Structure 1
Amino acid sequence: MITLIITLISLWPQAGRALQVFQPYRTVGRGGEAVLRCSYELSSGMEELHLTLYRGQYEKQQMCASTFNINQSYFKAQGMVECRGEISANGVNLTVTGLKGADTDLYFCALEVLFPPPYLLRVGNGTIVYIEEEPDCPAHAEKIVADPEDTSKEAYIIPLILFAFVVIIIIIIAVINNIINMKHRRKVVGVLPVASKKLDCRFGYENFL
C-alpha cells in the first residue's frame, strides 16, 4: 500500500503535465514552399518548448529545429531547409521553404518541454507533404494557361504553311514541265517535211514530182 502511494505521488507531476501533438494527414506545397500545422495540447505552466521537424518514416532526417517560448508569436529556424513558425495558443504553423518535388515525403513534428521540468517529448502522427514539380519553362507554361486559344492557332498555322509550301512546289514543277513541252513542240514544228523521192526507170534519174 505504501509502495503504491509513493508511486502515485511520483507520477502525479507527470499526470498534471499532459502533452499531445497532432498533425494533418496531408498538405500540398507550391513554389518550393509548404505550410505544416503542428497542433499540440499543453498543460498550464509549460513555458519553453523545442520543436524539431523530421523527414522520413523509418530513417528520420532532421530538417530544422528551434527553441521558443509560448509567449512568442514568431520564430525562425535554419537547417537543411528554412522554417518559419507562427505560434498560437494550440499549435505552430510551420512554413518550410526550399523544397523540391523530390522532397515529397512523410514529415513529423517532435515537441519537447524544456522548462519547467520534468522533461517531456512527444512526436506527432506525421503529415504527407506533397511538393508540386515546377515546369522547366514557367513563362511558356503560364502563357499556355493564360491564352489556350493561341496554342490552338499555332497548331493550325504550321500544317497550313506546310500545305502551301507543297502546293507551290507542285505549281513550279508543272510550269517547268509546261515550258519543256512547249520547247519540244516548237522544235518539231520547225522541221521541214522531206519530199518522197521516186526513181523513174525510163530515164534513170530521180523524179521529184
Structure 2
Amino acid sequence: MLLPVFIGISWLHIITSEGMEISQPAAVVANRHGQATLACDYKVRGSMEDIRFSLLKKIGKKTTEICVVAYSTGYEPAASGNAIRCLGIPAPDIVTFNISGLTVDDTGLYSCKLEVMYPPPYRSTEGSATFLYVPDLTSQCAQSVEPVESKPYDLAFLITFLVMLVYSLLVTCVLIFKRRKRRWDTSLYGHVLQSNCKNYHPYYIQM
C-alpha cells in the first residue's frame, strides 16, 4: 500500500527539482550597520514567467521564512520584510538580496529557495546554506572605551620605582661632586707647591 505512495512522492520530487539549481556562498559577514548582501545564482531549464524567491533561516530542524521576493521575467526589484528588510534585485541568472536591520541574534544559516509558480508544473529547489555572521559591535565598542582600573600593587610599584630613581640620582650627584672636589684640591695643592718652588732662593753662608 505505502510503496506506490512513496514511489509517487519520490517521482514528483524528481520532476519538480529536475533542471533547477541554486548556488550561494559559504559565508557572508554583515557590516557595522547591520547590512549584508547575499547573492544566489540559479539555473532553470524550461520556461518560467512567475518566480518566487524566499530567504530561509535554519535553526536546527526548524526553517523560518525571513523574506520573500516574487517577480516576473521583467526582473523588477522588490522589497519585503519587517524587522529584517530585504531588497531583492533579480536578474536572468542571479538574485541579490540586500538585507538590512540585522542584529547579532540574526547570526545563523540562511538558504535561498526558488519556486517557479507559472507555467505549470510547479517546481522548487533550495540552495545550500550560507553562514551569515553579524558581529556584536556594541559590546566591542564598550570594551574598547572601558577605563583601565588602577590596581593597588601597580601604584605601590610605581611609588617604589620613583623613590629608587630619586635616591639613585642623589647618590650619583654626591659622587660626582666629591670627585670634582678632590680634583680641585689636588690641582690647588700642586699650584701652591709650584709657586713656592719658584720663589725659593738658596742661602749661602760664607766662612
What is the Cα deviation at residue 66 of structure 1?
A: 2.2
Aligned counterparts of 1:22 and 1:93: Cα–Cα separation in 2: 12
Matches within 5 A, 1:84-123: 84-123=87-126
Paired AA for residue 107 in structure 2: T
Matches within 5 A, 1:119-134: 119-134=122-137
What is the Cα deviation at residue 104 of structure 1?
A: 0.8
What is the Cα deviation at residue 136 of structure 1?
A: 5.0
Aligned counterparts of 1:48 and 1:78: Cα–Cα separation in 2: 20
Query: RMSD of aligned C-alpha atoms?
Result: 3.4
- Contact 2:55–2:111, Cα closer than 8 Å, also in 1: yes
- Contact 1:64–1:80, Cα closer than 8 Å, also in 2: no
Extract unaligned runs of 5+ from structure 1. 1-9, 145-150, 152-158, 168-209
Report how many residues are paired.
140
Question: Runs in 1 of length 4+ with deviation above 4 angstroms?
Answer: 136-141
What is the Cα deviation at residue 128 of structure 1?
A: 0.4
State the partner residue of 1:24. 25
State the partner residue of 1:46. 48
Extract unaligned runs of 5+ from structure 2. 1-10, 148-154, 164-207
| CA deviation string 1:103-135 (max 9, x = no partner) | 110001111100111000101111000111123
| TM-score, length of structure 2 as denominator length | 0.57
Paired AA for residue 92 in structure 1: V
- Contact 2:103–2:134, Cα closer than 8 Å, also in 1: yes
Aligned counterparts of 1:139 and 1:95: Cα–Cα separation in 2: 28
- Contact 1:65–1:79, Cα closer than 8 Å, also in 2: no
Aligned counterparts of 2:53 and 2:100: Cα–Cα separation in 1: 17
- Contact 2:69–2:88, Cα closer than 8 Å, also in 1: no
Matches within 5 A, 1:1-209: 14=15, 18-30=19-31, 31-56=33-58, 57-135=60-138
| Partner SS state of residue 55, structure 1 | strand
